[in-house]
Amino acid sequence: MASSAANSEALQSPVPLLVKAREIVRHEGRVLVELADRIGGEFTRAIDLIYACQGCVIVTGMGKAGLVGQKIAATLASTGTRSHFLHPAEAIHGDLGRVHSDDVLLALSYSGETEEIVRLLPAFKQLGAKLIAITSRASSSLGSAAEVTIPLGNLREACPLGLAPSATTTAMLALGDALALTVSEMRRFSPEDFARFHPGGSLGRKLAKVNDVMRPIGECRVALETTCLREALVAQRRPGRRTGAIMVVNDAGQLSGIFTDSDLARLLEAKRDSAIDRPISEVMTRSCSSIAFDSPLSAACDLLVGRKISELPVVDADGKPVGLVDITDIVGIVRDEPEATVADAGPAVLKLVAPPQPRRMRPRSDR
């Protein structure tokens, strides 16, 4: 009993558990490195089939391989290749109707003998869709039926029993990523394309355009140059979120300046109360910063942060205001240092950081 208790205590000790965990990760890492060295012509033929596919890439697999297949299908779809996951058990009960001759099938089975997959092989052939197999060996039932087989080779699972799919599913996942991302590069998939497929969440905001986040002109305060400042301050009420700026326009409707809450505070501090009853053009900031409505949000962040301003007018091709970007709408988002791959592709990627410090009063010329 004492010996058993000692062994149990030893198993609970964090040191041997960490050693085991690290060895599992290292083992799977070695599997990937060895797999990368073996990638050859079969992979090239597979990406040619996917790139030329006129329909969808239909990914299928059973059990753990099926779960990996769902992730591969999602990665393909999000990087420019139409893709769906087909559960093999559902396929033999009617879901084969989703497969068309223009499609490419990507089947995952380490053994290549998974019953549900093997039962589908004659139907796949009858439907006329091209079949790519990711399996252990090309001589398996799945490998023999495929137009292209990417062999994983004889892999030892990281599981201590050598049974639970671990190294094999990691290898499948890596190959799926390699297929999806290589084809994506062949399609010249851009950050703009990526943003179009990721409109929600932080990814969408990272690659958004200015007109995606600006306050529309109907929610902004706008005044003619000849408008009395007092009138502009009192009368310029708009629905929606309050803005701390009045955009000033000339007779042609083009942006000619801006008047902010900070400008008003400076007038009061300088005891220039009488200026409140003068035309707004006499106290506005002329030649203020502005940005085109179709510019990347990263450019707006650069201006707001770099020039230490809180409001940025958005203009159309004729220089007429169409909206306003307020720092409070994008607080915490600034331009990241561009990496080579991002800089080559297009707009800089953004990252979430701590909100900027409050702005100090600055002369109007700094705007």
Q: What is the pLDDT of residue 6?
A: 52
pLDDT (tens digit per residue) in 265-274: 888 888 888 8
Q: What is the pLDDT of residue 205?
A: 63
Are 184 and 79 in contact by the 8 Å Cβ rule? The answer is yes
Pairing label, strands 221-224, 215-216: unpaired
Burial, 260: exposed, middle or buried (Cβ in 10 Å; 0-12, 13-18, 19+)? Answer: buried
CATH number (2.70.70.10, 2.60.40.10, 2.40.420.20, 3.40.50.10490) of 12-189 reads 3.40.50.10490
Which regions in the chain score pLDDT beneath 50? Answer: 334-367
The token pair at 13 is 């000790």
Average pLDDT of the residues of the chain: 84
Q: What is the pLDDT of residue 305?
A: 85
Alpha-carbon gap, residue 39 to 276, rounded angstroms: 74
**CATH T-level fold of 205-366:** CBS-domain (3.10.580)
Burial, 59: exposed, middle or buried (Cβ in 10 Å; 0-12, 13-18, 19+)? Answer: buried
- pTM exceeds cut of 0.75: no
> Within 13 Å of residue 39, how many CA atoms lie on the same side as its CB?
17
Q: Where in the chain is the domain with CATH 3.10.580.10?
A: 205-366
Q: Where in the chain is the domain with CATH 3.40.50.10490?
A: 12-189
Q: What is the pLDDT of residue 232?
A: 86
Alpha-carbon gap, residue 176 to 134, rounded angstroms: 9
